Chains A and B, each alone.
Chain A
């Protein structure tokens, strides 16, 4: 499979990138990891006239805590997230997300920014970022703009980025006391998109009452989405097996999967229930200080 011809431009700075985006508009595509874009181009599903390679823009690959947030540069490779001890120990939900994306070789190229900007409901980071309540930093002609993750996926395969903006950073609130998260993905085999996956991030008080909960769903909605009724159900409730089971049922109800080769809609909805139950259970265990 051979991509159609295009013009290749290397950007050396964010401003140059934004200028190129402004000039070429929707004819241009940003090339970061390329792990979604290049296969689409090879299949000629995507035929952009201009490719703007941002791999040469320095200062976009980092993982650091500052201002009470975890800040991740958009060009950070998935493999860097997997290898980061800060991520592994401080944000296990993010570690669990990164390490189930595609396969290890793809993760050496794929970037977290690309995963989010592609706005594919089958991608793994959107659900996790929804659960974490992340903020997206977009850079455009007027500088930086902060976009709450809840507003980042407005419609099918579309992000809230303007045509002349580039995603530069992801900000995740640092976990508070008795906070725990988990991402559980069920796939047909390594390298597959999720049949379904559930991201859960919650906080308990000293008496095991849930005081905050966010749940993100992967590949079971048209756009990356939260299971808000399940979240609302959990908040204010003492965590019991029954509460987890009830919340999981609500999450399943909120999913809207389509039948395909991965399974029937009915199957996927039930899978959301099962995975939500397991993810909530793991998140609770972490919130309580368990290691697992």
Chain B
């Protein structure tokens, strides 16, 4: 099914128009309202004392010097919270993590105590003089060593726990896969590590918690991508101390970038709430960058042994991935409950594979808990990176061009909807078209010729392809929930008497431009100019319940809900129009903005006239007003895709990888706002570049965090970032109300293997088969020297 969307006028500004963003005037004039901008009368500040050790027993905490500083009102420790049974909290994966420790710390930079003071400077002074005596414990940094029989057991809080194993999960048929491997002409095998990284949104996390004692009402402004779910979590966790869900209001104001890092509940939020409840005043907590990088949820940290099988003429036959996931000291991933490894089993990618088996084990280590996404749908980046690397290794191994190998093995256009061997039903795709377009734009054949010439001169130039399939829009309620709450999402639209509208959603933009794109959906469906549609999200007292914005789910879920709610309104509008014009409903034709009597173009009612009538002249027996709410339960996920081609030049002297060109052809189905889609892809590509060449958080043997500030966590600047070249194909989703698929994360998912493949492509002839990301100058230099290149 192809969904064609009629183009509205620019005045209406429905789908397909590059409308300027409605939210921008406030951001452009410094009038955004971020959490740190929230100031309340009598507000106190919180600063957190953190552990210098990765694993240590807390012998004592002496807060006397801090409490002696004028302006320091309280120092909160785990023992204080233990009195209310609030020292531990559940993670989204039904594990537990500490709010504040009572007996031991489990990672460097873990929260140990919180200082509450009248001013942020005094709070910092207090935190600097809280004396904590520690007794160091053996540190487990390596997840492989964590699973050895003699490893110290980290989670001594769990009765009967005798190892550091968290979960085992698998998908696919092991026996069928084993047979396919046994029968294969060619098998390639590679260990691939995808390191720990951090989303590092430019705004860190924080909150202002305000407990109003007389009414028992808690309001929390916080950096959250999922305010409604947070409200429910707070009610569940603190119900026993009297916080009741109707008295909890979570407000997610303007968010300075989320990317998955603002999904979890961090201890700091909970401590600030506890402090406000205890002291009876508003408490503000804003973490600094080092706390953000060292203590907030990380992403990735997947160690995989991957195997791929093929016939000698390049037909891929089977895939086998075995992965060890380092979760830190708690499984604090933000996955749907049934999927401890997220949607990792999308790892057959864009290829028609008949056999696959994938296993993931999770391990505890003395590192911060996680792992969340880094601008990607639950572990999809890990899956795509691994399959795309393996396909390239196979192509080189059998001497086939990587583009040709992909073309030969893509799922064919007419195979959609396509049932993958690991159980997904891909909604739609045209993989050949996307790759061909990318090859045409970049001039693939010419580049291959240039590469040969350069190689002959001893220069290193590489061309890398990534043809990824994303899986977003979680998700259908039969399989998808977080803490039991189904992953629908919502929209509520009210059309006012003058024909203007307000629309509220269960999601929360962090820069994606919802105030614009949602207004365009409503404009498309109702013909009300998008300028007249006010969009609101993020306040749990006013917005309908929803699971929030992450995993590229807003357009697939809340966007769909907006269309469905608008269609309910349109159905009612038809009845009103028929009544007002005294014709039968069937005699009316809809075009965005008006109902016209068939065969009589002069006889019509605009949506504005109908809206007025809904409040002033509605049919007897019909409810007045013109509004609707819809909770959209998607029938399936959506599967955006694309093909990226990257050209790199490598400086053999320094080991530096220079991205010369990068062409991205994306397909996210029907497009709401092309300008915003392009922007999402630019940003996604940059967050694909970053971990490919620059970013990593690592740990030394003692568990010290390396890369825990912007000195060493290398967020690329405009100088390191290439000028991205983007284009698109459009293959609508057949099951989404307007054929859209979601796009926010495609590029982050798709870019890293294109870059990695390009680097290895430049060096394959030396005998190089793989380099783990980030491909830093020092790492590439080592590879070059190990292969006899002196530079």
Contacts and interface: CB of A to CB of B under 8 A. Distances in A.
A–B contact (CB under 8 angstroms):
yes
B776 A188 contact: yes
Contacts of A195: 777-778
Nearest to B47: A2
Contacts of B714: 188-189, 192
Given A270-B785, A274-B654, A264 B778 contact: yes
Nearest to B127: A2
Interface string A33-47: 000000000001000
A205 interface: no
A191 interface: yes
Interface string B498-514: 00000000000000000
Given A188-B694, A261-B712, A270-B791, A2 B707 contact: no
A188 B653 contact: no
B710 to A, nearest CB: 8
* Main DSSP-derived SS at the B contact region: loop
A261 B290 contact: no
A144 interface: no
A86 B97 CA distance: 61
A51 interface: no
A90 interface: no
Given A190-B717, A191-B717, A270 B290 contact: no
Nearest to A192: B714
A2 B121 contact: yes
Contacts of A191: 717
B782 A190 contact: no
Contacts of A274: 653-654, 791
B288 A190 contact: no
* Main DSSP-derived SS at the A contact region: loop
A262 B711 CA distance: 11
Contacts of B656: 186
A272 to B, nearest CB: 11
Nearest to A47: B128
Nearest to B717: A190
B777 A2 contact: no
Given A2-B124, A267-B782, A189 B716 contact: yes
Contacts of A103: 717
Contacts of B791: 270, 274
A188 B288 contact: no
Nearest to B290: A1
Interface string B756-791: 000000000000000000001110011001000001
Interface in A52-96: none
B290 A189 contact: no
Given A189-B694, A189-B716, A192-B714, A44 B128 contact: yes
Contacts of A146: none
A4 interface: yes
Interface in A226-279: 261-264, 267, 270-271, 274-275, 277-278
B47 to A, nearest CB: 8
A263 B778 contact: yes
A195 B656 CA distance: 12
B315 interface: no
B125 interface: yes
A104 B632 CA distance: 49
B103 interface: no
A281 B666 CA distance: 45
A263 B785 contact: no
Interface string A187-223: 0111110010000000000000000000000000000
Interface in B549-596: none
A44 B778 CA distance: 31
B771 to A, nearest CB: 15
Contacts of A1: 124, 288, 290
Contacts of B712: 261
Contacts of A44: 128
Interface in B102-128: 120-121, 124-125, 128
Contacts of B719: 189-190
Contact of B777 (A4, A190, A263): A263
B720 interface: yes
A2 B720 contact: no
A248 to B, nearest CB: 10
Contacts of A188: 694, 714, 776-777
A101 B76 CA distance: 43
B7 interface: no
B787 to A, nearest CB: 14
A198 B719 CA distance: 22
A261 B720 contact: no
Interface of A: 1-2, 4-5, 44, 103, 186, 188-192, 195, 261-264, 267, 270-271, 274-275, 277-278
Interface of B: 120-121, 124-125, 128, 288, 290, 653-656, 694, 706-707, 711-712, 714, 716-717, 719-720, 776-778, 781-782, 785, 791
21 contacts: A4-B128, A186-B777, A188-B714, A188-B777, A189-B716, A189-B717, A189-B719, A190-B717, A190-B720, A191-B717, A192-B711, A195-B777, A195-B778, A261-B706, A263-B777, A263-B778, A264-B778, A270-B791, A271-B654, A274-B653, A277-B653
